[in-house]
Amino acid sequence: MKLQSIRRILCAATAILCVTGMIACQNGSVPPKGENESAGTAGEGTDTPWNDHLPEADFKNAPFRISVYGPQECTDKFFVSGTTGSLINDAVFNKVATVEDRFNVDIQFNDVYAFTSDDMQHLVRSIHSGDDVCELAQGHDLTTANCALEGMFLNVLDLPHLDFSQPWWPSETIESMTVAGQMYLMFNNISYTSLAQTRVMFFNKSMLSELDLDDPYQFVYDGTWTLEQMRIMSNEAYFDLNGNQRKDNDDRLGFAHGENYCILETFSVEPYKKDKDGMLYYEMEIERLHDIVTTLAGVSYGVGGLIVGGEDNAEQIFSDGRALFTYTNLHAAITDFSQANNLIYGILPMPKLDESQKSYGAGATDRPIVVPNTAEDRADMVGIITEALNIEGYKQVYPAYFEISMKSRYADQTDDAKMLDIIHENTVISFTYLYGRNRSAYNTMLNDLFHDKSSVNSDVASWAARTDAAQRRRVEELRVFFETHANS
């Protein structure tokens, strides 16, 4: 749908967003400003573009087609069909309208419901048949990564006009995704999926106060927020509410542990490593992984911890006020906890393994964006519009979701806003997870070792030995692909 004619109608709404965004910025810190960024803050919502170095261009209402493969809950974070009065929805809509207006381009979305194990194969098959169906495509993370190995997508590092030094590009993820000068999957602010799907630790402030426990915010500020510290606090919180003499989902828990997902990313271990030349090799850090498993088990299986059988169960127990801690995606603040009666919660990063860990990590998932090689003859337009959508997502959607909705509405203290900044600055999407084809340590190890509700197998060395041959074969496949395409 052509949005350009609606742009002027949205100016008033954008001004409101501007004012609200600036108020939010006064109450909490803002995204880091790049050295080439002009004065101002994310979310100012002005019609004057930042100093983004994009050239002036008039594409004369040419179509720019984006195919989005997935269910509605995913595509809504990428595009919406109209305004609703919701800050986040309207910011997503206005992101596209702004780019259309600036470059006189007709951005068209093809929403393909294909939430299956081969969702991106729809695109690959069309490319193989010679069909030129889109300039950008977005799909499920693991299937998109595997489809990239078929050589159907452009190396986005070769696209013009993309400035990866700017704050609208996630630097940690860019580094993770780059191998031998190649990156086929883009993660950026065109969609806010990665922000919504960043994993964080929620805690119950009322329970913390009732139990007279130490302030976890201060532990974070001091660099001492560790799994051991969380275990101590979790154990203090446990109480056998139903009096059946055993720990279960009906008790008051210290830590309601739902899923072993997006955890290893927080500890900076990456089995698919890169050498000094940027090429892949495989190495399991057995000793460190053993420490992670045993220490995490101390929290999950300790006096206060319980594997409660899924993320939904953990979120429900926390919503009911029966858990001091739970670990889940940031979006739960909007979809689950915002409606919970009498729940006053705080947000923390995942604890460090120990105090020697340099920084807090935040594991995230996203739906990557790719450029089909059928769009190579339009690389200039693809680069400009991709960068522009990324910029507007950072300027308009990021503050609407992060600064306003998260910091000012769903987080009730300044400390929570500071925690969100720490989390966002340390978000990582793992190369091993994406390209591991559901078999890497990131995808299976914790699920294999944390095999039931009552015990854990901490023998990482045996697990690594069983999977070593398959992992080395996979890394060799990846190495061959990236070496083959390094000079193509």
* 129 and 46 belong to one structural domain: yes
* 158 and 208 belong to one structural domain: no
Which of 227, 189, 222 has the alpha carbon at shortest distance from 424?
189
| The pLDDT value given to residue 62 | 98
Which of 134, 54, 67, 66 has the alpha carbon at shortest distance from 102?
54
* 89 and 224 belong to one structural domain: no
Q: What is the dihedral of CA 162, 165, 168, 169, to 10 degrees?
A: 80
* 97 and 209 belong to one structural domain: no
Is 418 within a domain?
no
Angle at 96 between CA 91 and CA 53, to 5 degrees: 105
Is 235 within a domain?
yes
* 115 and 264 belong to one structural domain: no
- DSSP symbol at 437: T
Q: Cα dihedral sign for 243, 247, 248, 250?
A: positive
* 453 and 440 belong to one structural domain: yes
Is 66 within a domain?
yes
Measure the CA–CA gap between 225 and 234, rounded to whole angstroms: 13
Q: At what angle do helices 227-237 and 286-300 cross, to 10 degrees?
A: 20
* 158 and 266 belong to one structural domain: no
Structural domain range at position 126: 4-196+365-412
CB 26 within 8 A of CB 44: no
Residues of the chain with pLDDT under 50: 1-49
Is 276 within a domain?
yes
CB 124 within 8 A of CB 147: yes
Is 417 within a domain?
no
User: How big is the chain by its Cα radius of gyration, in Å?
Assistant: 23
Is 312 within a domain?
yes
CATH code assigned at 249: 3.40.190.10
* Tally of domains within the chain: 2
Q: What DSSP string describes 55-79?
A: PP---TTEEEEEEEES-HHHHTTT-
Is 419 within a domain?
no
Q: Show which of 412, 435, 451 is a domain's final residue.
A: 412
Is 421 within a domain?
no
* 183 and 307 belong to one structural domain: no
| The pLDDT value given to residue 341 | 81
Q: At what angle do helices 87-103 and 7-27 cross, to 10 degrees?
A: 120
Q: Show which of 381, 412, 443 is a domain's final residue.
A: 412
* 260 and 177 belong to one structural domain: no
Q: At what angle do helices 141-148 and 121-128 cross, to 10 degrees?
A: 30
* 354 and 392 belong to one structural domain: no
* 44 and 116 belong to one structural domain: yes
CB atoms inside a 10 Å sphere around CB 342: 7
* 55 and 167 belong to one structural domain: yes
The pLDDT tens digits of the residues spanning 167-210 come to 899 888 899 999 999 999 999 999 999 989 999 999 999 999 99
